[in-house]
Amino acid sequence: MKTKLISIILLFFLSASCSVHFHLDLLGKETMEEVILLKSAAKEKILMIDVEGLISSLPSSGLFAREGDLLSQIYYRLDKASEDPLVQGIILRLDTPGGEVTASDIIYNEIMKFKQKTKRPVVGLMMGTAASGGYYIASACNYIIAHPSTITGSIGVISIFPSVQELLTKIGVKMSVIKSGEMKDSGSSLRDLTEEEKKVFQGIIDELYQNFLDVVYKSRKNSISLEELKKMADGRVYTAQQALKLKLIDEIGYFDRALEKALSLASLRQAKVIAYSYYPKTKTNIYAMSLQDTSLLKENSFEKLLPSLKTGFYYLWLPQMER
């Protein structure tokens, strides 16, 4: 009996060891493989990077979401590309309603650092949605192209403070909070916001909004005046045609046009298009998106998305928020 127990324990640890090794191999940066999406006789490469789903520093959910959070995924790819002299440009494919303020800003900053370090161009290609934080990130690109059916814009900031005060009252639950200062539990879901708290949070929103305006103006100042930008940056979304007319984007087109522009900015006649992937068999062509779990966003339901949103401030288009 004792021998059998020892055998079971050893088997457990051996299987656990194999499992950990397998997991680390999938997560490890060294396992990220280069996949050719469009062949070319040229040795030079144009890298395609996806910014897809909710922009967050939280890890993706799902069985195959082994790469970590979106922030890490993009950082790894930019870092790998910067070390490869044959990668002469990037097409940044955006399909996102936005997300966390900090995550959006870090991705924007990493793209700017890549451009400064390598002097290589980045072309933004907007897919179905590239709103709020998605547009914030696109502002780091040298050139922005949107598909004819793209929804973009939504320049603004939102913060979410759910309140369960009435629910707790109905079921007879009382909460006692002991705090060091009047504002210590500001934003608590256990009670409604006070007028003073609303003023404090509005001040934070205004500051983050100004930062958003500064980023967009830096990118579009040759096309849009600051006064014009403030008028259109009230949180509303725009179609690709409207965004082009307002000069928020540079052109309406498809992937082939984005590739032409990337080649032109990189002073190349041709190049192969590649992607970096942990799952090379799934990345077989230019329209194969990543394996990130975006089912919540596709359902476009605030009730389903809410558990994924942590307390904080967002550059996010969430159309069902006020229903």
Check 132, 219, 277, 290 and give the catalytic one.
132
CB atoms within 10 A of CB 204: 13
- How far is it, in rounded angstroms, from Cα 85 to Cα 185? 51
Q: Where are the alpha helices (DSSP H) in the chain?
A: 2-27, 70-82, 101-118, 133-138, 165-170, 195-220, 226-232, 240-245, 255-265, 295-299, 302-305
* Residues whose CB is less than 8 angstroms from the CB of residue 152 and which lie 6 or more positions away in sequence, other chains included: 126, 129, 130, 131, 134, 135, 138, 146, 237, 238, 240, 243, 248, 249
The one catalytic residue in 29, 184, 199, 298 is 184
Radius of gyration of the chain from Cα atoms?
23
What type of residue sits at position 196? Answer: E
The reply to whether 301 belongs to the active site is no
Using a 10 angstrom Cβ sphere, with 0-12 exposed, 13-18 middle and 19 or more buried, the burial of residue 34 is middle
Rounded Cα distance, 292 and 21, in Å: 22
Q: How far is C-alpha 176 from the geometric centre of its chain's CA atoms?
A: 38
Instruction: Specify whether 43 is catalytic.
Output: no
The tokens for 287 are: 């329209």
Cα distance between residue 167 and residue 152, in whole Å:
37
Tell me the two tokens of residue 237: 């979304």
Residue 276 carries which side chain, given as an amino acid letter?
Y
* Nearest CA-CA partner of 320 in 302, 297, 308: 302
Residues recognised as catalytic: 132, 184
